[in-house]
Amino acid sequence: MRIGITCYPTYGGSGIVATELGLELAHRGHEVHFITYANPIRLGSGSPRIRYHEVEVSTYPLFQYPPYCLALASRMADVARTYHLDLMHVHYAIPHSISALLARQMLAAERYLPFITTLHGTDMTLVGLDPTYYPITKFSIEQSDAVTGISEYLREHTASYFGVTRPIQVIHNFVNCSIYRPAPERPPRAEKVLVHVSNFRPVKRVLDCVRVLGEVRKHVPARLVMAGDGPDRGPAERLAAELGLSDYISFPGKQDHIEKLLPHMDALLLPSEMESFGLAALEAMACGVPPVTTRVGGVPELVTHGVDGFLEAPGDVASQAARVVELLSDDEKHQRMSSAARHTAETRFSTQLIIPKYERLYEEVCAAHAAPASVTV
């Protein structure tokens, strides 16, 4: 199939999932066209079945804000026409679904261009609930040829808050367990190493990671790697200095190859206020790194408390720190939960299990709008 994919090409979960999906589809023989304003961060180069089409937005004195939505729609229609795309798959409803709808209408005289919308989280739980965007978000969902969500939580939230009656198929996030895998061996070391991976937005509660480390170090020698960047990086660095933890926390910034970092960690901290799924936790689990995270959103669909990770209340630094200490001070329990985390990734969320669900959906959507075969009399 020839598939167009549009996403935010950043370090957020929706862009990462969309990019990884495109890579997997190309590996399975499909032709994939990314259409967005910048090259997706995990896309790389080298696949003959992947092409990237940049969306250029012209600026004029008349425009206080560049009309990206319109430029994207035009580019979608142009790429679909030139490369005979079978369908568009857009990630994050605003504004990608509306752009896909406009592209479909632009091509209506020639053929029908179906599009699928995948909901990722804040497009429904934050942006979409803003009164300014609520009507257009609801409209874009209803006009999509198919809609998927990354968790049961997100499906239920969307149906409840937006009054959507059309089916929303849950297709969980996935991980390539051949790329994300445990380290061959983990030599003993004097200090345990924790890791946090995010875009450092307030919803991630990154300052709680600093506080958790402070509590953990009262019982276990440990360090913390804060991978990523965003608005709360500065406050986290200042808090580390205030608590005397600067020598035990590193901020390496955004990481293009997180799969090389995770296998060398002992536990993942993900103390988020809200997660529609918890992709960082899944990637860590595939590397045999148990997550200590929060019982919010779709995370309980991924992590089984006490088996392959721990779930605590957001903001409960003491409980989260106690779980980390429990993991790091009991080698047998850590090994057991590490193996269970890897098992969960392999048996429930691997690419081999999840990608075929998207392929079947593509086939169903295209078949529903296929031109009727001519009849010879």
Would you mind telling me the total number of residues written for the chain in this entry? 377
**Structure confidence at residue 375 as a pLDDT band (50, 70, 90):** very low
* Banded model confidence at residue 128, pLDDT cuts 50, 70, 90: very low
Domain annotation covers residue 44: yes
In a domain, 263, yes or no: yes
Reply yes or no on whether the pLDDT at 70 is more than 50.
yes
Burial of 116 (0-12, 13-18, 19+ CB in 10 A): buried
Same domain, 72 and 214: no
Place of tokens 């020639």: 110
Is 207 a residue whose pLDDT tops 90? yes
Range of the domain at 153: 2-174+351-368
Q: Is the pTM of this model over 0.85?
A: yes
Structural domain total, the chain: 2
* CATH code of 120's domain: 3.40.50.2000
- pLDDT band with cut points at 50, 70 and 90 for residue 169: very high
Q: What is the pLDDT of residues 77-113, one digit of tens each?
A: 999 999 999 999 999 888 899 999 999 999 999 999 9
**pLDDT per residue over 284-321, tens digit each?**
999 999 999 999 999 999 999 999 999 999 999 999 99
Residues 23 and 154 in one domain: yes
Pairwise CA distance, residues 251 & 224, whole Å: 9
Q: What is the DSSP secondary structure assignment for residue 299, as one 8-state letter?
A: G
Q: Does 47 lie in the same domain as 22?
A: yes
pLDDT at position 376, please?
Answer: 47
Within-domain flag for 211: yes
Q: Are residues 123 and 207 both part of a single domain?
A: no
**Nearest to residue 302, comparing CAs of 153, 120, 122, 147?**
153
User: Does residue 254 sit in the same domain as residue 358?
Assistant: no
Q: CB within 8 A of 333, min separation 6: which ones?
A: 326, 327
Q: Are residues 206 and 141 in the same domain?
A: no
Same domain as 224, residue 323: yes
State whether residue 245 is helix, strand or coil. coil
Which contiguous run of DSSP H or E holds residue 287? none
Do 62 and 117 sit in the same domain of this protein?
Answer: yes
DSSP state string for 319-330 = HHHHHHHHHHT-
Question: Per-residue pLDDT tens for 11-42?
Answer: 677 888 999 999 999 999 999 999 999 888 77
> Helix 331-348 crosses helix 317-328 at what angle (to 10 degrees)?
100
